[in-house]
């Protein structure tokens, strides 16, 4: 009988996944077998006679499900970026099984009794700060998963958790299917008017890949976004906009209305069992913000600061459209188009002029060189490490002679991959008992693909996205603590975006851009006048963009501050519009929520505000780099030692104070945006 590779020892470089030998049919038996072994490990911890200590209870719990965690991480991460119908069904089948196992662990009163005694005596037990944080995290996780409930409530809590595990997967599956279902096939060259050559070339390549004549545009970001910004054909812009903004809301088999309502209602019921008024109250108790009122006050303050700027931004675009002889009321599918033209006129600058200077290979090397300059890291491509897709590149990361991480870069869209960009890990960093385990980090993006005559050329927004996700990656790669539950990006949700958003700031620095931005044909550096225009246009429509993000945060909070279940007759789009501050007329049949995977299929429920919260921290932190030098190795070392390497081993407020030597400046973001 052949050994299931998911449960075997991986004799591969750096114990990386042997993708070539793992098949979809391996996951179910491997995960079920791993659950049995994990339960045996957990039982030994719960049944031991020795008095509970951190060493004999919490440390073994950290390693009890290593094989299971490895297989589940692999399955769920690949399901996001390289899925198949068979893999999607496997995930749907296994999530209730995995959730039942987790419920058994976190509702085990014997384990909780041991953890409680450690928690109660933690201040006198000689524990390190990291061990105290881990103890508190375990205690809160037991309580948050219903260990103190009565038998009937526990049963219902477990049922809800199982159903939610399936529904959230179904939500993401539906969103991906609706994204892939739509294509705009153009055969008349006149319909390409206004589109940049690079966008047209990509569309032609997409058509050829589908054995079609002409040009094909999709709802993937590298296709959708430039089409909205540049296509002269207003009817086609409307068609694309409606298709993108109706994902999950089309009344077809992929419709997410009932799924979103059910998820929101189950989350409410679940936390009511725990004694919370609504889901946000439960979720925010484990964040920097701590309370709903603090999030509401934060969002309201930002909204008041940006709303007049947002209205001004819209009025300027409306007036400009009229100057361009637009004889119609400005609609959502017009905004990006006329906004781009206005930006071009105001700054004498076309964003597409930057693409030739931002070939992906050069950008990637520029980021690698930045991390070498700041942190001493080197990135070495290793062709011996197996890949899950031919477009992926993989690197070993070193700090001098010390191996730090494996980094997988997956840059291009495909139908098996959800939209957006993210960082995750196939394996967390840890160092228990001097057994150092370094992380296997994955960065996934959806960038413009190379064509037959051009390499992959990034837009400036794509450069920012790459820098953002690599900021998450560096948080994972530089992690240097003991326990995997606290390593890397395992921090409070409204802190996790800070390192990634800090890194975006370098995109606007001349000294950084000059290190890599070269024309892909001539090798000429990006003209200084272009860089100057990038900086001068940085806050173009900052009010509009800020309000957009605040609206997403408001919708998230509306779903998760419900105190009564949503009625089955309530349309999600109506509910969404009631929560937003909208300056353009809403469009029937269109909304964000039915494809809002961050909050319905990701970890950002009652946490989307965290992007703006972390922006305050990042604006403040980068001011120190600006003052001391954006390549200052001493500042970078302090940032690494006091924040990036520390994971969740201390409270984020303490980490921030350790680096800045003071509390955050609440006005830092508003100054950067030009609101004050």
For the CA atoms of 105, 108, 111, 117, what is the dihedral angle to 10 degrees?
130
pLDDT band at 2 (very low <50, low <70, confident <90, very high): confident
* Same-domain status, 58 and 187: no
Per residue in 473-483, pLDDT (tens digit) is 999 999 999 99
Per-residue buried b or exposed e for 499-510, using 16+ beta carbons within 10 Å of the residue's own CB: bbbbbbbbbebe
Same domain, 138 and 187: no
Residue 154 confidence (pLDDT) above 70: yes
Same-domain check for residues 216 and 361: no
Q: Are residues 632 and 483 in the same domain?
A: yes
92 plus 227 within the same structural domain: no
Mean per-residue pLDDT for 358-369? 98
Phi, psi for 247 (deg, rounded to 5) = -60, 130
Neighbour-count burial of 305, counting CB atoms closer than 10 A to its CB (0-12 exposed, 13-18 middle, 19+ buried): middle
Q: What is the CATH number of the domain that holds 23?
A: 1.20.1050.40
> How many angstroms separate the CA atoms of 393 and 385, rounded?
9
Residue 44 confidence (pLDDT): 98
Q: What angle do CA 670, 476, 387 make, to 5 degrees?
A: 125
Rg of the chain on CA atoms, in Å: 25
Respond yes or no: is residue 628 known to be catalytic: no
Q: Judge whether residue 326 has pLDDT over 90.
A: no
- Is residue 349 pLDDT above 90, yes or no? no
Look up tokens 């159903």; give the residue.
163
86 and 204, same domain (yes or no)? no
Task: Please check whether residue 286 lies inside any domain of the structure.
Answer: no
Regarding whether 360 and 505 lie in a shared domain, the answer is yes
Is 44 a member of any domain?
A: yes
The answer to whether residue 563 scores a pLDDT higher than 70 is yes
In a domain, 66, yes or no: yes
Residues 503 and 649 in one domain: yes
**Mean pLDDT, the chain, whole residue set:** 97
Residue 498 counted as domain residue: yes
Q: Which domain holds residue 487?
A: 356-541+611-673
CATH of the domain at 639: 1.10.1370.40
How far is Cα 545 from Cα 583, in angstroms, rounded to an integer? 12
pLDDT tier for residue 549 given thresholds of 50, 70 and 90:
very high
**pLDDT tens profile 93-110:** 999 999 999 999 999 999
Residue position matching structure tokens 């934060």: 298
Domain boundary residue, one of 244, 265, 286:
244
* Helix (H/G/I), strand (E/B), else coil: 399: strand
The token pair that represents 152 in the structure block: 């009937």
Residues 396 and 521 in one domain: yes
Total H helices, total E strands in the chain: 26, 9
Mark whether 502 and 626 lie in a shared domain. Answer: yes
List the one residue out of 585, 584, 580, 582 whose CA is nearest residue 608.
580
Residue 7 is assigned to a structural domain of this protein: no
Residue-level pLDDT at 165: 97
Question: Which of 340, 396, 464, 469 is labelled catalytic?
Answer: 469
> Domain check: are 135 and 186 in the same one?
no
* pLDDT tens-digit series, residues 253-274: 999 999 999 999 999 999 999 9
Does position 665 have pLDDT exceeding 80, yes or no? yes
* Residue 161 placed within a domain: no
Assess if residue 329 is contained within a domain: no
The reported pLDDT for the residue numbered 281 is: 98
Q: How many domains does the structure of the chain reveal?
A: 3
> Under a CB-based contact definition with an 8 Å cutoff, are residues 396 and 14 in contact?
yes
Q: In the chain, pLDDT over 70 holds for what percent of residues?
A: 100
pLDDT tens track for 591-642: 999 999 999 999 999 999 999 999 999 999 999 999 999 999 999 999 999 9
Asked if residue 597 belongs to a domain, the reply is: no
Q: Do 67 and 134 belong together in one domain?
A: yes
Parallel/antiparallel/unpaired status of strands 402-410 and 440-444: parallel
Please calculate the CA angle 300-302-303 and round it to the nearest 5 degrees: 60
Domain C-terminal end among 123, 144, 165:
144
User: Mean of the pLDDT values across residues 183-195?
Assistant: 98
pLDDT at residue 1 greater than cutoff 70:
no
């Amino acid at each position: 009988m052949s050994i299931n590779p998911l449960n075997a020892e991986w004799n591969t470089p750096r114990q990386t996944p042997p993708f070539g030998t793992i098949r979809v049919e391996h996951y179910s038996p491997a995960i079920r077998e791993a659950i049995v072994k994990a339960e045996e490990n957990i039982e030994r911890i719960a049944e031991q006679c020795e008095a509970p200590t951190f060493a004999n209870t919490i440390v073994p719990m950290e390693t009890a499900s290593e094989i299971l965690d490895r297989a589940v991480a692999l399955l769920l991460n690949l399901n996001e970026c390289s899925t198949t119908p068979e893999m999607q069904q496997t995930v749907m089948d296994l999530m209730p099984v995995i959730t039942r196992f987790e419920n058994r662990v976190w509702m085990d009163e014997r384990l909780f009794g041991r953890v409680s005694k450690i928690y109660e005596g933690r201040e006198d037990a000689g524990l390190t700060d990291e061990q105290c944080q881990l103890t508190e995290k375990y205690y809160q996780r037991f309580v948050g998963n219903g260990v103190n409930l009565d038998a009937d409530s526990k049963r219902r809590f477990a049922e809800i958790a199982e159903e939610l595990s399936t529904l959230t997967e179904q939500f993401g599956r539906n969103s991906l299917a609706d994204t892939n279902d739509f294509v705009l096939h153009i055969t008349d060259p006149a319909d390409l008017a206004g589109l940049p050559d690079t966008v047209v070339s990509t569309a032609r390549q997409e058509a050829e890949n589908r054995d079609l004549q002409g040009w094909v545009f999709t709802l993937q970001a590298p296709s959708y976004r430039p089409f909205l910004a540049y296509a002269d054909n207003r009817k086609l812009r409307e068609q694309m906009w409606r298709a993108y903004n109706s994902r999950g809301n089309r009344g077809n088999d992929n419709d997410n209305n009932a799924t979103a309502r059910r998820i929101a209602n189950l989350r409410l019921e679940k936390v009511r069992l725990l004694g919370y008024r609504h889901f946000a109250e439960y979720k925010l108790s484990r964040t920097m913000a701590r309370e709903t009122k603090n999030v509401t006050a934060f969002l309201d303050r930002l909204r008041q600061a940006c709303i007049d700027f947002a209205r001004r931004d819209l009025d300027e675009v409306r007036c400009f459209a009229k100057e361009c002889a637009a004889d119609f009321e400005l609609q959502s599918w017009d905004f990006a188009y006329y906004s781009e033209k206005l930006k071009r006129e105001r700054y004498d600058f076309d964003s597409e002029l930057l693409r030739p200077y931002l070939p992906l290979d050069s950008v990637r090397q520029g980021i690698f060189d930045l991390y070498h300059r700041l942190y001493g890291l080197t990135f070495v491509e290793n062709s011996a490490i197996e890949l899950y897709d031919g477009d992926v590149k993989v690197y070993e990361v070193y700090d001098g002679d010390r191996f730090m991480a494996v980094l997988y870069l997956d840059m291009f869209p495909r139908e098996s991959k959800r939209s957006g960009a993210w960082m995750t890990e196939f394996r967390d960093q840890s160092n228990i008992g001097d057994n150092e385990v370094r992380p296997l980090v994955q960065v996934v993006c959806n960038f413009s693909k190379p064509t037959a005559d051009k390499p992959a050329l990034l837009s400036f927004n794509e450069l920012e996205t790459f820098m953002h996700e690599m900021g998450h990656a560096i948080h994972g790669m530089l992690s240097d603590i003991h326990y995997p539950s606290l390593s890397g990006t395992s921090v409070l949700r409204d802190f996790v975006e800070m390192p990634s958003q800090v890194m975006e700031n370098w995109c606007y620095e001349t000294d950084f851009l000059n290190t890599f931005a070269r024309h892909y044909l001539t090798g000429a550096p990006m003209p200084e006048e272009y860089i100057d225009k990038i900086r001068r246009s940085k806050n173009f429509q900052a009010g509009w963009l800020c309000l957009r993000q605040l609206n997403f945060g408001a919708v998230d909070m509306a779903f998760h501050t419900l105190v009564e279940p949503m009625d089955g007759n309530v349309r999600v789009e109506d509910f969404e519009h009631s929560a937003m501050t909208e300056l353009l007329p809403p469009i029937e049949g269109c909304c964000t929520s039915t494809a809002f995977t961050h909050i319905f299929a990701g970890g950002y429920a009652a946490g989307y505000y965290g992007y703006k919260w972390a922006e305050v921290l990042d604006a403040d932190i980068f001011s120190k780099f600006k003052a001391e030098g954006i390549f200052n190795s001493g500042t970078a070392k302090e940032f690494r030692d006091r924040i990036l390497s520390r994971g969740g081993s201390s409270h984020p407020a303490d980490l921030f104070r350790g680096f800045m030597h003071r509390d955050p400046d609440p006005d830092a973001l508003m100054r950067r945006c030009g609101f004050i």
